[in-house]
A and B are shown apart, each in its own frame.
Chain A
Amino acid sequence: MKVNLTIDNIAVSVDEGSTILEAAKQVSIHIPTLCYHEDLCVAGNCRVCVVEQTGTNRLLPSCAMPVSEGMDIHTNSLKVRAARKQVVELLISEHNAECTRCYKNGKCELQELSSEYILGDNGFIDLIPFKKYTIDNFSPSIIKDDSKCIRCQRCVRTCTELQSISALTVAHKGKEMKISSFYDKPMYEVVCTNCGQCVNRCPTGALTEKIYIDQVWEAICAEDKHVVVQTAPAVRVALGEALGMEPGEIITGKLVSALRRLGFSAVLDTDFTADLTIIEEGNELLQRLTKVLKDGDTSVKLPMTTSCSPGWVKFIEHTFPEYLDNVSTAKSPQQMFGALAKTFYAEKLKIEPENIVSVSIMPCTAKKFEADRPEMQSSGYKDVDFVLTTRELALMIKQAGIDFLSLPDDEYDSIMGQSTGAGVIFGATGGVMEAALRTAYEVVTGREVPFKNLEVTPVRGMEEVKEATIKLENVLPKWDFLEGVELKTCVTHGLTNAKKVMEAVKSGEANYHFIEVMACPGGCLGGGGQPIPTNLQIRQKRTEAIYQEDRLKAIRKSHENPEVQKIYEEFLKEPLGAMSHELLHTHYTVRNRQ
């Protein structure tokens, strides 16, 4: 049913149940918002989105108020402007507004709003001296600065609705009310997975990633250091957004160019180790299937889950520790890369590993934590020294004065720079599963996976939980025990959905062989380190770009990557072999639930 109303004297007709904010958007009227976020339920607490309804004294929160027939709304009346200005003044009075020192300077929603409502110096009393604000910068991934918080609760809703973790909560009331972890402990001591989804949605500088830009500059400028950089699949479809481009543009060539100009000694690709992950993880799956289905070994666990999302790994360590044996022992592509950079790569180039600084560009804040795990030193050194988010890289590019948009395309360096379409799609939800199936199916049957153009469509897209069952027929003799077996797979993204899947596994309701979990909505392309803003539409654009990149690749199956084949010949010898075990596999830690 349609509802008719006027907004700023413009007639508009919208579906029943729409909000005034949505209706205004239809007629090109922008109403400012702070607590509202498309990915989250409506909170209605910041009150900057208020509008006037003729005949009503009180203003209405447009984000929360459904339209009704005959409404006469004014979004820019004197009363509205005066009220909004005072609301912004109030927020600023409680806020440590030191924009010139702030990471969010120029990218901050509060700052933007205050620039629209020139506040002048006739403001309210500065409340900062009355507050005991703290900054938590103990986590390797996330900094929480309470003095920049406007209490919009976007982070709390993100952590609860999208991630089901509720590491963040609202604590106390009245003037003491604040965003807090359990007992206000440092974020690294609590159930936070470092996924950064809250960071991605925080309108201010209250939640940011921990920045390692200066350390990376230092390494680049150090004479004796060989600084290698790897780039995750999802970065190449999103970086452009932070540098003035539209969502969904593929900028791989420019990305490589820019990194080279920044002064990295070698520009390499995480996609290469993504392909390697597929070989190791695919073989692990086949090995588990063999042990369970053929040898009847009950100590081996199925379903096997993926392990490349560090947010997911930390989540399962906290929440389902009894399932740690189900997690693939294969390291994430980032960490495989790190381990090889200071061993295989160092040997090849005859560089002392201690002189290699290994940097990664990731769509993810949890990757910073992952690189810091004590077990991630299998090269004898810290395998990955510094992890930068897509956003930090964008800032470095600006700092270096690089005009990104006009950069020529460039190619990755070789050894550990070559990749396939299967590696690229790691960046989207379902990508790991699709890549694994492209390889595993072929290993078992000798034939290509039975989908047109190798596109395993059932595992693609934004559906919460995707399932695909693939029947194995006419298998090669080695795999005869798999003949006729229906391989049951499940793909999910966002930890709320992951929790649902794990609960179904726990209750015995779900019966999968292989589960792919990405902690972030949409997969890595929706990661916590990606450009801000994010919403479903943007994530879909990035997804399309990723699949486009896959389609354009000459080689689209991980096991056909020549560099991968070569590294097994020359260095690793065989999948799941001794060398792989030492460098490419890991173990997990049971964590508490506070």
Chain B
Amino acid sequence: MKAPLRYHEFDKDISGCGIFGVIHKKRGLIPGHMPSCAMATMHDRGNGLGGGFAAYGIYPEQADKYAFHLMCETEGALESAREVITKFFTIHDSQPIPTRKVLAIKNAPIVWRFFLTPKRKGERPTFRDLGEEDFVVAVVMHINAKVHGAFVFSSGKNMGAFKGVGFPEDIAEFFRVEDYRAYIWTAHNRFPTNTPGWWGGAHPFTLLDWSIVHNGEISSYGINMRYLCENDYLCTLMTDTEVVAYLLDLLVRRHGLSRKLCSKVFAPPFWDEIDRMPPEEKRMYTALRATYGSAMLNGPFAILVGSSKCLWGLNDRVKLRPLVVAEKGDMVFMSSEESAIREVQPDLDRVWMPKAGEPVIVETEV
């Protein structure tokens, strides 16, 4: 799309972070207590300006519906959002997200959830040509950009995000995270250096059933966002995580790249490595770098990506941010620090540091 006027005049968010993720390969349910304890161990990796969780498998009764989590500044904003949603979706359920009062959490927005099925193409007011997933993305972006004071912070099926301004353990208490049981959790603790706390700016960042937690600063942001704009994604949050999320959506969902290949776009092998590969592989990686150079994530990062089937960890190609992986039975943990894993699972079968740029992709077996 054509870049909006003064699209270069953004104020980018800069932050350091702690991340944690866990997956049960047999879809055994893990209580919310575990990620929240792990994050509490990494308290010092944040500064109380952002914490959050994403959980998969938490709405088994409504598993076929899109679960929209909204945060709204006022009742009015919630009503306006509801009006927009009604035009595009059939609402099956609409309820406040259960919370409790927590001393450390101030100025919480109204948090609400809807369980939805999209209207058929002919019944939609706009976006009639879009396939189901593109349609959901379009409506979410529409609400976030146009409905003042309302923000959709997760929109996948049988999953949800819980996040806000505060330390993760306080956010967990606020959202009663211990009441949920999930087969994948991702969690995030944030150390922003320049944004005043905004609940929507906390992580995980989600899009459909993707959830992304990220520790790092993407130095290639300036070109990544322009490349995304060419491909019709408008960055509005000005965080690195948003860029990662849209790139994932573009490469994996729209271009059909495997997670492994997508990892190689984000953190490509060095040319001298490529030069030593067998011809066919060399041709592939050369094409991958030449074609997707603008999607490369340059700069220090460790990312965890959750989706309904998979937990996926990735480091930058010179490993400038920590990432540890550990196994215990059917569970695989990924974290910024080993201490966080040991805190919730002292006896581990295996612990290792993935190599720079080598993705760790763990899929559910059932």
Do A and B originate from a single complex? no
